[in-house]
């Protein structure tokens, strides 16, 4: 039996809609923003759990602290990453991490969590933005894109086809040359 619906590749990440009702010793929400409806719904769902909830947010200090034990706002991503590394280094067993933002933000934070020793089962991802990372297989550079299927590499100039293959190690989709006659952004003789 066949269908016309395209199947996602096994490497394509799947994102949560609701937090899993799993026991935890501590809950940590790291968000790119707290002013999006999806984030507000996640924040409300996490507030229902008995365990303490600590929130790290990028760029916002005016946050509704309802049912939150701790909210920390950071002016830039480097400051947020440094604080997240510190918290994860001292996190007790049973800590659950909830990451909320676009794919670039999610996979950067997820990499920090994995380096700190958190397991896949302890990390939940909630995608809220369109930005994602593209890796050019020709010059090994990264660039941020949205949902386009074709993109010109900002480094080598090759017109890239954005594959649906996602590398968890790189936190990026693979970009391959879309025209074999123009492998180096120039016409072959």
* Side-by-side strand order, sheet with 142-145: 142-145, 132-136, 172-177, 159-167, 150-152
Task: Report the C-alpha gap between 77 and 99 in whole angstroms.
Answer: 14
- pLDDT in tens for each of the 189 residues of the chain? 444 445 668 888 889 999 999 999 999 999 998 877 888 889 889 988 988 899 999 876 444 544 445 789 899 999 999 999 999 999 999 999 999 999 999 999 999 999 999 999 999 999 998 999 999 999 999 999 999 999 999 999 999 999 999 999 999 999 999 988 777 766 555
The model's pTM is: 0.84
DSSP H helical ranges for 28-164: 37-47, 77-89, 103-115
**Rounded CA separation 102/31 (Å):** 9
31, HSE (Cβ side, Cα atoms, 13 Å): 26
């Amino acid at each position: 039996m066949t269908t016309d619906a395209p199947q996602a590749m096994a490497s394509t990440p799947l994102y949560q809609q609701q937090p899993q009702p799993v026991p935890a010793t501590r809950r940590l929400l790291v968000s790119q923003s707290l002013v999006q409806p999806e984030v507000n719904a996640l924040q409300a769902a996490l507030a229902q759990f008995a365990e303490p909830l600590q929130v790290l947010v990028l760029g916002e200090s005016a946050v509704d602290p309802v049912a939150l034990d701790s909210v920390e706002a950071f002016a830039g991503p480097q400051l947020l990453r440094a604080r997240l590394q510190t918290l994860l280094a001292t996190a007790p067993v049973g800590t659950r991490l909830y990451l909320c933002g676009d794919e670039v933000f999610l996979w950067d934070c997820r990499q920090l969590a994995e380096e700190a020793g958190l397991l896949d089962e302890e990390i939940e991802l909630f995608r809220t933005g369109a930005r994602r990372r593209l890796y050019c297989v020709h010059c090994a550079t990264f660039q941020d894109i949205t949902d386009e299927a074709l993109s010109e590499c900002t480094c080598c100039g090759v017109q890239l086809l954005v594959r649906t293959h996602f590398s968890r190690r790189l936190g990026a989709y693979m970009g391959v040359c879309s025209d074999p006659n123009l492998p180096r952004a120039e016409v072959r003789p």
